[in-house]
Structure 1
Amino acid sequence: MSKNISDFNQYLSFFWFIFFSLFFCSFMLFASFFLGGKSVSRYKNTPFESGIVAVGDTCLRFSIKFYLIAMFFVIFDVEALYLYAWSVTIVESGWTGFIEATFFIFFIFLSLFYLIRVKALNWVSS
């Protein structure tokens, strides 16, 4: 019987957490709508903040290399986050975690050398 009450209290706590979270978010949105400043001007809904009409073409072309470098940065940055999480829990993970992290770092270096070999990191095309 006490297990059922304990489970019910956990569900009730979770329900109250969700309810108050949604209520607080809704309250902040409605409060900012009513208390926030409102301005009306002729250039308010123009696509530029200053109201200046655009000059020239706004469509810029970027090289595909820019996007490749950005994706490589994100990939290696996320792997650095995994290594940070591993370094925080190094005592708990023990030798098994150390060996797994060593393999992880090895595969990161292997992928980096592959990217260098296929010249994916060269900005200037040959």
Structure 2
Amino acid sequence: MNINDQHLRFIFFIFFSFLLCFVMLVCGYVLGGRSYFKQSPEPFESGIVSVGSAHMQVPIKFSLIAIFFVLFDVEVLYLYIWSLGVREAGWIGLLNICFFIHILLMTLFYLIRNNIFKWIILK
């Protein structure tokens, strides 16, 4: 079996990556704080004892807006990458990106038409 320099470097990289992870876990275990209670006596925030329940209902609109932001943000990354290689993509790349933008606009108009972005909070 012949191991060349590149394979040896890769093996060292993997070994030292696992070693670094192991050392970080051991240091966290050794240097970390300990709690000797089976259950903590009272929950507190910055030394202040909390009053009431921490559970609160959040409308689903917040999650939808966050998902839409992430989706459209990722599409902007695709457009940025396309803009870097626009000359190499040629006319086929231009047609593909026009189709991509068309799908994005159709999705946005569909969401607006179905009132996804309306903020009506019912009490």
TM-score, length of structure 2 as denominator length:
0.75
Change (3 A) 1:17 1:78: same
User: What is the match of residue 78 of structure 2?
Assistant: 82
Instruction: Say which of 23, 27, 30 aligns to 2:23.
Output: 27
Unaligned runs of 5+ in 1: none
Instruction: Say which of 88, 91, 95 aligns to 1:95.
Output: 91
User: What is the match of residue 53 of structure 1?
Assistant: 49
Amino acid of the structure 1 residue aligned with 2:57 = R
TM-score, length of structure 1 as denominator length:
0.73
Change (3 A) 1:37 1:89: same
User: What is the match of residue 107 of structure 1?
Assistant: 103
Change (3 A) 1:125 1:54: closer
Amino acid of the structure 1 residue aligned with 2:20 = F
Larger fraction in helix: 1
Give the C-alpha shift of residue 47 in structure 1.
Answer: 4.1
Give the CA RMSD over aligned residues: 2.9
Give the C-alpha shift of residue 117 in structure 1.
Answer: 0.7
Secondary structure of 1:119's partner?
A: coil
Aligned length in residues: 118
* Aligned equivalents of 2:97, 2:110: Cα separation in 1: 20
Q: Segments of 4+ in structure 1 off by > 4 A?
A: 31-34, 36-40
Per-residue CA deviation, residues 56-89 of structure 1 (Å, 9 max, x unaligned), is 2211111111111111111111111111221222
User: What is the match of residue 69 of structure 1?
Assistant: 65
Unaligned runs of 5+ in 2: none
